[in-house]
Amino acid sequence: MAKTKIGVLISGRGSNLKSLIDAVAAEDFPAEIALVISSQPKAAGLQHAAAANIPQATIDHRDFQTREDFDAALDAALHMKDIDYVCLAGFMRMLSDKFVDDWRGKLLNIHPSLLPAFRGLHVQERMLDSGVKIAGCTVHFVTPEMDAGPIIGQAAAPVLPGDTVETLSARILELEHKLYPRCLRLIVEGKARISGAVVAYNTGITTSGTLINPPASD
């Protein structure tokens, strides 16, 4: 049986791309990464694609006069490879409403907070400034409104005394590498789907417990 084809869009080091590459390498994973596109010619993440013999392309946004022209080039490249779903993995470009609408229900993103809290940029710094005790990450479908699409999955981590932006970011990134492949599998296998404004799961999906911070002493 042919596997579902995934396109991954990156702009930088591609650590989430690497986690997806490692996941799809499993024989029982129902998808394959058929194309990696970078908006930056020298993005380190392209090396992960090359090492895994995954077709790759660079579409530099600076070569286009408008966001719409850039997005049209992305769309054409994805359709050339018959891509079924697109995963944003550190892709640092705002996508046009048309592109998002054309890929509605097929476009996934990962964000380093427990949405809907802390949308946008500088997330870990804002978490620390706010004094929250639990951080995490979210995989969601992309909609025209930034970081506001239906949530597919989330993972939580404690904010520890003495945390810096760097230490908190690293802890969240570890969760991202586990969560993104799991959510992609759920979508590809049809075990999670958009239902109205939210994502619904098939029966049998279980959670892994409760995180309390500071931990209970009794």
Domain range enclosing 16: 4-201
As for how many domains the chain has, the answer is 1
Q: Residue 22's pLDDT is what?
A: 98
Q: Residue 173's pLDDT is what?
A: 97
State the DSSP string of the chain: -PPEEEEEEESS--HHHHHHHHHHTSTT-SEEEEEEEESSTT-THHHHHHHTT--EEE--GGG-SSHHHHHHHHHHHHHHTT-SEEEESS--SPPPHHHHHHTTTTEEEEESS-TTSS-SS-HHHHHHHHT-SEEEEEEEE--SSTT-SPEEEEEEEEPPTT--HHHHHHHHHHHHHHHHHHHHHHHHTTSEEEETTEEEE-TT--------SSPP--
CATH of the domain at 50: 3.40.50.170
The answer to whether residue 32 sits within a structural domain is yes
The answer to whether residue 181 sits within a structural domain is yes
Q: Residue 1's pLDDT is what?
A: 72
The answer to whether residue 214 sits within a structural domain is no
Mean pLDDT, all residues of the chain: 95
Residues with a catalytic annotation lie at: 111
* pLDDT mean over 83-90: 98
Segment 149-163, tens digit of pLDDT: 999 999 999 999 999
